[in-house]
Amino acid sequence: MTMRRNAGCNTIDHHVTRRQFMGTGAMAGAMAGFGSLLTPAMAGEMKSKQKQILQVYLQGGVSQFEAWDPKPGTKYGGPFRPISTSVPGLQICELLPYTASKMHLLSVVRSINLETDDHTVGRLFMEKGRKNGDYPFVGAVASKYLTTPDNPLPGYVHITTRGIVDQTAGFLESKHAMMRLEGVKPPTNLERPQGVPKELAIRAEGLRKQLNNQFGGKRSRALIDSYDTSFEQAQQLMARADLFEKQDEKELDRYGRHWFGRRCLLAKTLLEEGVTCVKVTHHGYDTHAENFNFHVEQLDEFDKTFATLLGDIEERGMLDNVLVVIYSEFGRTPKVNHKYGRDHWGKSFSIALGGCGIQPGGVIGATNADGTEVSEREVDGAHLFHTYMQAVGIDSQSNHALDGRAVPIGDPVAAPIKELLS
Amino acid sequence: MQTLLKIAGLISLLLGVTRVQAQPLHDIIDTFIVTAQGESSSIQSASLDDYGFARRVYLDLTGRIPTVSELLEFVGDSEPQKREVLVERLLASPAYARHMQYTFDVMFMERLPKKHVPPEEFQTYLRKSFAENKPYNRLATEILTADGSVPELRAASRFLLDREIKREETVRAIGRVFLGRDLQCAQCHNHPNVDGYLQQHYYGVAAFLQRSYLFTDPSSKVVSIGDKIEGDVTFTSVFTGEDGKTQPRLLGLPEIQDPQQEEQPYEVKPDSKNRGVPKYSRRLQLAPAMTSSDNLAFRQNIANRIWAMMVGQGFVEPLDMFHEGNAASHPELLTALANDFMLHDYDIKYLIKEIVMTQTYQRQSELKVQDFADGNSRYLNGTLKPLSPEQFAWSLLQAVGVVEKTERSVIAALEKEDANFKEATAQSAVLIEGKVSVALKSQIDSIVKVFAGSNAASRFDASADHALYLLNGPEVAKWLAAGQDMLLDQLLKVDDNQALVSRVFLTIYSRMPSDPELKLAVEFLSVGEQGREEAVRELVRTLLCSAEFRFNK
């Protein structure tokens, strides 16, 4: 990466190169301090704990210029300044001050090129690690391979508002498909119909099991068992309706009383309860007009809430086992249009990720001076998918074993971003 | 001698040249399966009793469970040929066309949303095709040929038009649906794990469509498919970097060369106002090449799919993975079936009837020997078949009494319109079924949406939201409420608990309860007068939630 003149701001010294983890020194200290708090038994327990994923999806395409890859004083850089972060030498946009103080927990990938400017194609590529085909989403794969058999909760939950219906499980069993929560409302049909006494419902559940055992006794069990499991999952969800009850007021003060705050608080609860993959969507980044004003508003809501959530996850010692990814289906055009908007741009944009063994404090790849194309270490959805999988301990270069066909988990033409994996 | 004759019949089918069939196909199938299993015949499951047979054929041929009266009428019939009679009656019923419409719609369109052709129009087209028993090669020809420009065949163009003839979707669909081969992985390179899927196969199919494009009529805005005379297919392997090119071709068959180009190559020249129509269109070579007798893959694929639809398991599984490394369990039998289907002019009803009349089809799913689960692949026992979302929706509405109630009101309305209306004619049956389907469409669709929600394919799916729908959904609660003149009211009129339980079992499982089941259920109902209605309702709901109702056993 070349030095460049920065007219808008004095702190031009924010050039970082790939593989250069400037936070290493600071982190080593932090890790040592953290490590000393743990007894060996606790450490062992954490090691054996189920790996989890938190996906924070900034729907519509957050601008890389206004978030992870600021280009102050350049042709397309926009009005905002970069700020320093908890990682010396790493700067992000000034719209993310709280997140900046947590950057020692995250790394940034600045060199993503999806070669598409289409919402759906971009979203599917970022989730499936494949540009097309009937493949499962990150969350469904995680649900399949990481969820322990005794875990009563669904493996993949998405807290959102809008009803985009994707085929999230692909060829995996549908119990790994995304369970969609409408904001913080409980799942559909969670409440027993009126007029069914509890005692009768319990007897009915017992009768159902007896009938199934009788029916399954001399038949091949796989299908019957999976049908049975769906009823057990339903019963367990009904028993945990409390997860969706009123949220703690003090916590809401910390997370923010807006929708995104409530959703992130629910996400934290679900992670603590052991849901394998929790996806939270923050809507509204498709800023074809008034890009800058909208980013001020959107990121103001995102920043403090997300930093609070990340801080809580870290404080509870969960970050060793939770992969956190903040992503969009693409970024936004360098060129600002006549409505002060930025349009769709999949050619050079960024995401941030951390936790679960991801090297913190790093920057992978770079864009050129004006941010119009990737200049170093180009990656796409397939590389990212491999990286997520490797981080949570799934060998993405092996195969799904399905009814007679071997399907590679990650796209064989791509590989994980090794620099991020410790 | 008998066996020799059968084998002679089989050999002629294998050769696929003549039709010197000494034995009906269903006998040949059974002979073959029994011969192939050798000594393991001792673990072969028993045959279905009349109750089990009725439930299975109603589900497989009409897409719903039988009513209690249909069931008891069949069971009580002493006619020795009654199974064949029932099969023929069901194949002639309008419900057969409806069921086949659903099945083939999902196969062709995989629940893709509407783009240019309303799904309902495609479904109506399919229903009519199955009602008239259109030969399968003709159906395939229409679907692969229709370009949306001719109103009468506009519906059939959904296969190509609603995939917008995009290469990824269309080539993959043609490969899977018509050739039994998922060539997707051969797009960028020869398939890494499957020897027989070559890049040239993928691009051979692509080459039929390479010169086609979507044309939007400037005045009507109607979108159809136009063709040009240029556009060749080339490809590069991302693994080896080798380049290749191909003319249109299907798998290993020869490339189809273009004829000498005429001086005036177009009937209609493509421009912004006119859909291009060349004198020679590569796209129009697809259907003849596909349905040609040279193309064994076409008939093997459909024979395998219809066999799997009926018996629950294809000779080749997964259905879209025909290749050398994934050999058919009974390769000769598959070829025989495919050839016989072709020799019978792709008569779908014929093939289905022959399969249903086999002993193989009529075997129970209950295993003779405990812990023996390996018989499936050899057809020693019946396969447990999950109901498709549509079968489940119709069966659910049938069980709770919605279907019969709707039928009653449809018939009443028809009688009111026409004093001479006669319910029991074939014509009336079509009329009644049509009106009932229309009346129930929104309810059927809402159930299908829940049960097919997360899954485009027709394979089995079970997730918590299905269970929550059945346990707690307001729709189910409404169907099970008292005072609806449906199942619950009928049951509440029965005082004797044993009789009531039998009625519940006949309605939902299409059979009588066993003694232990009778005891269990009667005990469940022993709650005193106060809670009787709730207990009866929960008994019904529990059976609807149980595995036996979810499967075609």
Residues B450-461: tens digit of each pLDDT:
888 544 454 576
- Give contacts of A207 with chain B, Cβ < 8 Å: 520-521, 524, 539, 542
pLDDT at A376: 96
Q: Could A200 and B547 be called an inter-chain contact, meaning their C-beta atoms sit closer than 8 Å?
A: no
Q: Could B188 and A197 be called an inter-chain contact, meaning their C-beta atoms sit closer than 8 Å?
A: no
Dihedral angle computed from the Cα positions of residues A200, A204, A210 and A213, in that order, rounded to the nearest 10 degrees: -150
Q: How far apart are CA A171 and CA A293, in angstroms?
A: 42
Residue A58 has pLDDT above 50, yes or no: yes
pLDDT at B193: 66
Question: Hey, is the C-beta of B184 within 8 angstroms of any chain A C-beta?
Answer: yes
Task: Name the residue of chain B whose CA is nearest to A231's CA.
Answer: B467
3-state secondary structure B303-340: HHHHHHHHHCCCCCCCCCECECCECCCCHHHHHHHHHH
Candidates A86, A88, A87, A96; CA nearest to A65 is A96
Q: How far apart are CA A156 and CA A142, in angstroms?
A: 8
Residues B380 and B40: beta-carbon distance below 8 Å: yes
pLDDT at B15: 57
Lookup: tokens for B531: 């809670």
Lookup: tokens for B178: 């018509």
Q: How far apart are CA B64 and CA B394, in angstroms?
A: 5
CB contacts under 8 A, B 23-82 vs A, are none
Partner residue opposite B471 with nearest CB, options A167, A197, A234: A234
Task: Name the residue of chain B whose CA is nearest to A201's CA.
Answer: B538
Residues forming a β-bridge with B321: B181
Residue B178 neighbours by CB under 8 Å, 6+ apart: B140, B144, B290, B298, B301
Question: Hey, is the C-beta of B461 within 8 angstroms of any chain A C-beta?
Answer: yes
Residues A223 and B460: beta-carbon distance below 8 Å: yes
Residues A67 and A350: beta-carbon distance below 8 Å: yes
DSSP, res A104 = G
- Give contacts of A223 with chain B, Cβ < 8 Å: 384, 386, 460, 547, 551
Q: How many other β-carbons are positioned within 10 Å of the β-carbon of residue B439?
A: 16
- Give contacts of B188 with chain A, Cβ < 8 Å: 413
Phi first, then psi: give them for residue A200, nearest 5 degrees.
-65, -40
CA atoms in the 13 A half-sphere facing the CB of B9: 21
CB contacts under 8 A, B 463-492 vs A, are 463-469, 471-474, 477
State the smallest CA–CA distance between residue A406 and chain B in angstroms.
7
Residues B388 and B550: beta-carbon distance below 8 Å: no
pLDDT at B42: 67
Q: Could B462 and A177 be called an inter-chain contact, meaning their C-beta atoms sit closer than 8 Å?
A: no
DSSP, res A336 = -
- C-alpha distance from residue A133 to each of A22, A125, A161, A167, B183 (Å): 39, 10, 26, 11, 11
State the smallest CA–CA distance between residue A179 and chain B in angstroms.
8
- Give contacts of B542 with chain A, Cβ < 8 Å: 204, 207-208, 211
> How many helices (H) does chain B have, and how many strands (E)?
25, 8
Q: Could B538 and A177 be called an inter-chain contact, meaning their C-beta atoms sit closer than 8 Å?
A: no
Residue A210 has pLDDT above 50, yes or no: yes
The DSSP result for A198-238, as a single string, is: HHHHHHHHHHHHHHHHHHHTTS-HHHHHHHHHHHHHHHHHH
Q: How far apart are CA A34 and CA A14, in angstroms?
A: 28
Residue whose structure tokens are 């070579």: B285
Q: How far is CA A43 from the centre of its chain?
A: 25
Mean pLDDT, to the nearest integer, of B504-518? 97
State the smallest CA–CA distance between residue B385 and chain A in angstroms.
9
Q: How far apart are CA B170 and CA B309, in angstroms?
A: 23
Q: Are β-strands A156-160 and A277-282 bridged in parallel, bridged antiparallel, or unpaired?
A: parallel
Partner residue opposite B460 with nearest CB, options A171, A223, A231: A223
Residues B97-147: tens digit of each pLDDT:
999 999 999 999 988 889 999 999 999 999 999 999 999 999 999 999 999
Asked if residue B113 has a cis previous peptide bond (ω within 30° of 0), the answer is: no
| Residue in A116, A397, A405 to test binding to B, most B beta-carbons within 10 Å | A405
Residues A27 and A360: beta-carbon distance below 8 Å: yes
Lookup: tokens for B454: 């997360």
pLDDT at B455: 47
Task: Name the residue of chain A whose CA is nearest to B457's CA.
Answer: A171
Q: Is A274 helix (H, G, I), strand (E, B) or coil?
A: coil
pLDDT at A249: 93
Q: How far apart are CA B343 and CA B269, in angstroms?
A: 41
pLDDT at B326: 86
CB contacts under 8 A, B 316-375 vs A, are 317-318, 321, 326, 365-367, 370, 373
DSSP, res A5 = -
DSSP, res A192 = P
Lookup: tokens for B94: 């309008």
Question: Hey, is the C-beta of B240 within 8 angstroms of any chain A C-beta?
Answer: no
Q: How far apart are CA A266 and CA B373, in angstroms?
A: 44
Lookup: tokens for A104: 């020692």
Residue B330 neighbours by CB under 8 Å, 6+ apart: B32, B33, B36, B315
Residues forming a β-bridge with B552: B385
Q: How far apart are CA A394 and CA A112, in angstroms?
A: 22
Residue B420 neighbours by CB under 8 Å, 6+ apart: none
Element (H, E) at A111: strand A106-112
Q: How far apart are CA A205 and CA A198, in angstroms?
A: 11
The confidence band for A1, taking pLDDT boundaries of 50, 70 and 90, is: very low
Q: How far apart are CA A164 and CA A177, in angstroms?
A: 14
The confidence band for A351, taking pLDDT boundaries of 50, 70 and 90, is: very high
Q: How far apart are CA B509 and CA B530, in angstroms?
A: 27
Residue whose structure tokens are 């709650």: B527
Mean pLDDT, to the nearest integer, of A190-217? 91
Residues B219-237: tens digit of each pLDDT:
999 999 999 999 999 888 8
Question: Hey, is the C-beta of B413 within 8 angstroms of any chain A C-beta?
Answer: no
Dihedral angle computed from the Cα positions of residues A38, A42, A46 and A47, in that order, rounded to the nearest 10 degrees: 90
The confidence band for A183, taking pLDDT boundaries of 50, 70 and 90, is: confident
Element (H, E) at A55: strand A52-58
Residues A376 and A366: beta-carbon distance below 8 Å: yes
How many beta-carbon contacts under 8 Å exist across A and B? 160
The DSSP result for B386-414, as a single string, is: EPPHHHHHHHHHHHHTHHHHHHHHHHHHH
Q: How far apart are CA B75 and CA B82, in angstroms?
A: 9
The DSSP result for A395-417, as a single string, is: -TTSEEEETTEEEESS-TT----
State the smallest CA–CA distance between residue B493 and chain A in angstroms.
21
pLDDT at B13: 61
The interface predicted TM-score of the complex, written ipTM, equals 0.91
Lookup: tokens for B495: 């005082």
Task: Name the residue of chain B whose CA is nearest to A174's CA.
Answer: B461
Residues A81-134: tens digit of each pLDDT:
999 999 999 999 999 999 999 999 999 999 999 999 999 899 999 999 998 888
The DSSP result for B68-79, as a single string, is: HHHHHHHHH---
Partner residue opposite A219 with nearest CB, options B384, B545, B546: B384
Residues A289-311: tens digit of each pLDDT:
999 999 999 999 999 999 999 99
Q: How many other β-carbons are positioned within 10 Å of the β-carbon of residue A241?
A: 13
- Give contacts of A212 with chain B, Cβ < 8 Å: 546-548
pLDDT at A404: 64
State the smallest CA–CA distance between residue B461 and chain A in angstroms.
5
Question: Hey, is the C-beta of B455 within 8 angstroms of any chain A C-beta?
Answer: yes
Least confident of A26-35, A218-227, B320-329: A26-35
Residues B51-83: tens digit of each pLDDT:
999 999 999 999 999 999 999 999 999 999 999
Mean pLDDT, to the nearest integer, of B6-19? 56
Element (H, E) at A280: strand A277-282
The DSSP result for B225-269, as a single string, is: EEE-S---EEEE-TTT--EEEE-S--TTSPP-PPPPPPSS-EEE-
Query: Among positive and negative, which fits the CA dihedral A126, A129, A135, A137?
Result: negative
Residues A245 and A266: beta-carbon distance below 8 Å: no
Q: B532-545 and B497-508 are packed helices; what angle lies between their axes, rounded to 10 degrees?
A: 30
Q: Is A38 helix (H, G, I), strand (E, B) or coil?
A: coil
The confidence band for B376, taking pLDDT boundaries of 50, 70 and 90, is: low
